[in-house]
Amino acid sequence: MTPGPRNLITDIAGLKVGQATHARIKSGVTAIICDAPAAAGVQVLGGAPGTRETDLLAPHNTVEAVDAIVLSGGSAFGLDAASGVQDWLAEQGRGFPVGPHRVPIVPSAILFDLINGGDKDWGDKSPYRALGTLAAQTAATEFAIGSHGAGAGALTADLKGGLGSASAELERTGITVGSLVAVNSLGTPMVGGTRHFWAAPFEQDGEFGDEGLPEPMPANATDLRIKFRDLVSDGAPVNTTIGVVATDAKLTKAQCKRLAIAAHDGLARAIWPAHTPFDGDCIFALATGRTEIGPNLDVFVDLCAAASATMARAVARGVYAAHEEPGDIMPVWSSRR
């Protein structure tokens, strides 16, 4: 597997990404816009999710494809962002046909960034619907990673979080796989407080510092480094890593769900711990079908492995890019553990 030309999820033909970042509230929205409706699936493995339209994506349910996926900060307030994207799509005449009407299908997930130091006093109406519309309006094949969009106010156990993305091309088939993720985890992407990412074995071309794994592995490598431990002790769900894995292969809804499940393996390889009761970890899967390749079981194994690897890389890239001087990563939230 080799990275695509941008090393972004937009290496998948038929996808664009738009973002809106609100500096004062330290939050934002990331919208993945499909040029044409794409098959989709989802898997939620965190114990505290915040989502919209996920039931629709079950393989046995009626609607086969979606128009966009939205990732947002803002906790439950951020679910309004999908309505903003839906407004924009409706203006374009996009959506599932129902008689004379079209209803844009926009599943979404949110992360908790309400206590990251931003000014959340936004009055009687949250800004997320407007941010969603702005994100859709700016959708393009190039976009920034790090402290942008849904990753603008994200935090991990001991570092800033952020928005990350990565892609890979499968050598045997030419199928492309890409991942996009907003990292706001309870746990840490780093090994035992070192400069080394848990995702290091999957790194391509020094994309997040080329540090490799520590040798020897530190004795505290698997010690739990927990964000907002006092709030967790009170049972507050104040975290979440949300993402999208996509491919240009032609997949069914059931295969998309399996791809989302596989991508969660990459999340677990990149964050320790993951999928906790206080994370809302959720991954969507999209298949644009642009290659017209419908993978057999052998190829589908390769596809699932690539989903896992690109997700792990995207997690590390998002955190790495969120620091102004990525070569000098310093813990900024250690006092909160």
- Comparing 264 with 336, the larger pLDDT belongs to 264
| pLDDT reported for residue 229 | 67
* pLDDT for the residue numbered 326: 46
Average pLDDT for the chain: 91
What is the rounded CA–CA span in Å between residue 266 and residue 243?
A: 11
* Mean pLDDT value across residues 126-140: 97
pLDDT in the model for residue 158: 85
Look at 13-22, 103-112, 230-239 and tell me which has the smallest mean pLDDT: 230-239
232 close to 276: Cβ distance less than 8 angstroms: no
HEC letters along the chain: CECCCCCCHHHCCCEEEEEEEECCCCEEEEEEEEEEEEEEEEEECCCCCCEECCHHHCCCCCCCEEEEEEEECCHHHHHHHHHHHHHHHHHCCCCEEECCEEECCCCEEECCCCCCCCCCCCCCCCCHHHHHHHHHHCCECCCCCECCHHHCCCECCCCECEEEEEEEECCCCCCEEEEEEEECCCCECECCCCCCECCHHHCCCCCCCCCCCCCCCCCCCCCCCCCCHHHHHCCCCCCCCEEEEEECCCCCHHHHHHHHHHHHHHHHHHCECCCCCCCCCEEEEEECCCCCCCCCHHHHHHHHHHHHHHHHHHHHHHHHHCCCCHHHCCCCCHHHC
By C-alpha distance, which of 127, 82, 136 is closest to 109?
A: 82
- Please count the residues of the chain: 337
Distance CA 157, CA 145 (A): 19
pTM over 0.85: yes
Torsion of CA 111, 262, 141, 33, to 10 degrees: -60
Whether residue 10 contacts residue 141, with contact meaning beta carbons closer than 8 Å, is answered with yes
CA 218 – CA 177 distance, rounded (Å)? 33
Q: How many Å is the maximal CA-CA distance in the chain?
A: 65
pLDDT at 143 over 90: yes
Q: What is the pLDDT of residues 276-327, one digit of tens each?
A: 999 999 999 999 999 877 778 778 999 999 999 999 999 999 999 998 644 4
Query: For 223-277, how does the pLDDT look when each residue is reduced to its tens digit (9 = 90+)?
Result: 887 777 666 555 556 789 999 999 999 999 999 999 999 999 999 999 999 999 9
Interval 166-218: pLDDT, tens? 999 998 889 999 999 999 999 999 999 899 999 999 999 999 999 999 999 98
Amino acid 266 reads G
Q: What is the CA radius of gyration of the chain?
A: 18
Span 40-58, pLDDT tens digits = 999 999 999 999 999 999 9
pLDDT digit string (tens) for 56-101?
999 999 999 999 999 999 999 999 999 999 999 999 999 999 999 9
Tell me, what's the pLDDT at 223?
85
Instruction: Round to whole Å and give the CA distance between 223 and 282.
Output: 24
Residue type, 85: V
Cβ neighbours for 267, distance < 8 A, ≥ 6 positions apart: 181, 241, 243, 274, 275, 281, 283, 311, 312, 315
Quote the pLDDT of residue 275: 95
Higher-scoring residue by pLDDT: 219, 15: 15
